[in-house]
A and B are shown apart, each in its own frame.
Chain A
Amino acid sequence: MRVALLVTCLGDTMFPEAPRAAVTVLERLGHEVAFPRDQTCCGQLHLNGGYRDEAVALSRRLTGIFGGFEAIVSPSSSCVGAVREMNAEIAPRVFELSEFLVEQLGVEDVGAYFPHRVTYHPTCHSLRVARVGDAPLRLLGAVRGLELAPLPEATECCGFGGMFAVKNADTSTAMVADKCRAILETGAEVCTAVDGSCLMQIGGALGRQQTGVRTMHLAEILAS
């Protein structure tokens, strides 16, 4: 299948290792990956910030850019959610990576080997907006060498929330403090998720506290 990658502005600029890993996984499974260069941002930042008109205009750009592809895959559930919210035309063809692998391709074992203790944080938008269900856990369950440590109070928000992390920095910090405590309880070396933005929040706090626990996007584990 020819798959177009929606890398997202944050993925492109801040954590390109995640979309690169997505390319690796999809190609390993025999699919052709395209990267339409005119893509920039899906509009989520403006939507959540209260600039709906600008957000909708940015989302509409995607229609032409991704027009010809039968599947559009993204390593970010919140951006997938934003596309589904604002662009009805391409919405039926947009998938978060793990849901694409499990639900669309019917694959759980992507041939990965990752001999580490890992805990998985189900991000709010993956659970309640993109609704990827347990697809990430099924993929992690098939990774060779990986020891999955269940995260206590897993469905609690990490406190990112886009602008929220800055506008309400104190509350956001209180939330990520609890998230870090839960992660540390698991004894995991790595905390993974399907949203790079939430991982920036969690990783930023784990790093500041010198916990020695690192964050990795799910795609990176699947590509290893």
Chain B
Amino acid sequence: MTSFPEAARVALGDSQLRHNLRNATTTIRDKRARVVAEVPDWDELRDAGRAIKADVMSRLPDYLVQFEAAVEAAGGRVHWARDGAEAAAVVAGVARAHGADEVVKVKSLTTDEIELNERLAREGIHALETDFAELILQLDGDWPSHILVPAIHRNRSEIRDLFVRTIAQGRRLSDDPRELAETARLYLREKFLSAKVGLSGANFGVAETGTIVVVESEGNGRMCTTLPPVLVTILGIEKLVPAFGDLEVFLQLLPRSSTGERMNPYTSLWTGVTDGDGPQELHVVLLDNGRTRVLADEVGRQALHCIRCSACLNVCPVYTRTGGHAYGSVYPGPIGAILTPQLRGVENARSLPYASSLCGACYEVCPVRIDIPTVLLHLRAEAEKTVAERTAFRALARVFANPRLYERAQRLARLGDRPARHVPGPLARWTRTRELRPPAKETFREWWSRERGA
């Protein structure tokens, strides 16, 4: 994949993107801060969220088996998928069995992670995105740049132009959000009513009851999970919570952290199949796709606690300037910088652990207290370095370990007495945009010796 610094350079040069991102993230950020401040026991809720997730990770095999039994007891069928190919095969098999060449889809990061739409397309099955923003991206051949607001990098006039080209069917259209929504509604309603198979991800799965939970704002997700006679849900294995009562914690943490709402608008919960109501056939695919490897890492596994709220993206000084595409993954921003290298292997996303100034704003807002800076440092320590860098850092460590060598290096470091405008080597990347102060003419220790003797 393209390295983060290279991809970021392109994004930083896009003034429309910078403007769209700044507007959107500032708005969500302020909303989140306001509604979080209203909750007197917010910190205790965060502690509870972290504790529940840590418990799930420590006993995941037990909870998964319990969940499987509960889903099947309620009339659902559970499939286990090691990776995207296995998960896609299950979905394709179900669609084929029902003669469906189109499935309607709830917004789902997990399915994006395994490129399910592309895999299904190769099998001749079209997966139609029904989330408003996901639909926009699908119509334009674009891909999400934010966990919660996938089209955050687009503004309404860009969307108006896209709709005129694609689904407006010759109707006149302004960039009024209501008109844009109505255009999508007319297009999608027909699809909801005619689809044979619905496809969803899940925010939570309850081990105790086999209940699946999808949290969304539009109601389009609920159309997909209730109208078609067959439903397939793909669930990352880390999404379990032990008991139904645990949802109380997460359904408070999630909406306030993500959209800045007090309560989530559409929270759909279903357990197996119900006679004469909703889909009569339910398939649940439990997806690993690298998660068990993450689980084996004591420091890194907390990345699996993520409930995909995206609060860390909206406060990140890097994300809010580069946008999500620079991260080369469906999981952008600070959480992406620790999740992607772990899911894919650090060797396949080397630059991501460095795509942070370690400012700590992400850790401060995370509703389940994922210590992202610590995991970033952990992944940096694991990442393979270039020979030149490793040699330089080791040499520097030897200098720092020996005060005599250190003092000699200080004397050598004095380049001149004026701010440097251009220096060669790696520091050229500093001086391209910033003056570089020269080392002081007299170090602190030289001053101390001169003034105080010793």
Contact = CB atoms under 8 A, between A and B. Distances in A.
A224 B377 CA distance: 38
B79 interface: no
A139 interface: no
B318 A168 contact: yes
B397 A51 contact: yes
Contacts of B434: 173, 176, 201, 204-205, 207-208
B354 A163 contact: yes
Interface in B347-391: 351, 353-361, 363-364, 377, 380-383, 385
Interface string A147-182: 000000001110111111111111111111000000
Contacts of A127: 360
Contacts of A137: none
Given A168-B5, A168-B8, A171-B322, A204 B436 contact: yes
B361 to A, nearest CB: 7
Interface in B1-19: 4-5, 8-9, 12
A41 to B, nearest CB: 4
B400 interface: yes
A173 B317 CA distance: 11
B429 to A, nearest CB: 4
Interface in B390-417: 393-394, 396-397, 399-401, 403, 406, 410, 413
B442 A169 contact: no
B427 interface: yes
B393 A124 contact: no
Contact of B440 (A15, A155, A203): A15
A162 B430 CA distance: 11
Contacts of A204: 419, 430, 434-437
Contacts of A37: 403, 445, 454
A1 interface: no
A40 B410 CA distance: 11
Chain B, interface SS category: helix
Interface in B312-342: 317-318, 321-322
A174 B452 CA distance: 43
Contact of A162 (B321, B358, B361): B358
Nearest to B445: A12
A136 B9 CA distance: 35
B406 A169 contact: no
B440 A45 contact: no
Contact of A124 (B4, B9, B360, B432): B360
Given A16-B442, A19-B444, A173 B401 contact: no
Nearest to A204: B434
A8 B291 CA distance: 41
A166 to B, nearest CB: 5
A35 to B, nearest CB: 5
A170 B413 contact: no
Given A50-B385, A157-B361, A169 B430 contact: yes
Contacts of B364: 128
B448 interface: yes
Nearest to A43: B400
Contacts of A208: 433-435
Given A13-B443, A16-B447, A175 B321 contact: yes
A57 interface: yes
Contacts of B393: 46, 49, 51, 54
A169 B358 contact: no
A39 B445 CA distance: 10
Nearest to B444: A16
Nearest to A22: B444
B426 interface: yes
Nearest to A23: B448
Contacts of A38: 403
Nearest to B403: A38
B439 interface: yes
Given A13-B440, A170-B9, A124 B435 contact: no
A167 B443 CA distance: 27
Residue from A12, A57, A61, A127 whose CB has the most chain B CB atoms within 10 Å = A12
B359 A12 contact: no
A47 interface: yes
Contacts of B401: 40, 57-58, 61
B448 A35 contact: yes
Contact of A35 (B358, B406, B410, B445): B445
A52 B381 contact: yes
B429 A45 contact: no
B8 A124 contact: no
A48 B358 contact: yes
A106 B4 CA distance: 46
Contacts of A20: 444, 447
Contacts of A173: 432-434
Interface in A1-48: 7, 9, 11-17, 19-20, 35, 37-41, 43, 45-48
Given A165-B357, A165-B430, A167-B351, 7 more contacts: A50-B377, A125-B360, A169-B5, A169-B430, A173-B434, A176-B433, A203-B437
Closest 10 CB pairs of A and B: A161-B357, A50-B380, A204-B434, A128-B360, A157-B359, A16-B444, A124-B359, A169-B429, A54-B397, A207-B435
24 contacts: A12-B443, A13-B413, A13-B444, A15-B440, A16-B442, A35-B452, A40-B399, A43-B400, A50-B353, A50-B383, A52-B381, A54-B393, A127-B360, A128-B363, A168-B318, A169-B429, A170-B8, A171-B322, A201-B434, A203-B435, A204-B430, A204-B437, A205-B434, A208-B435
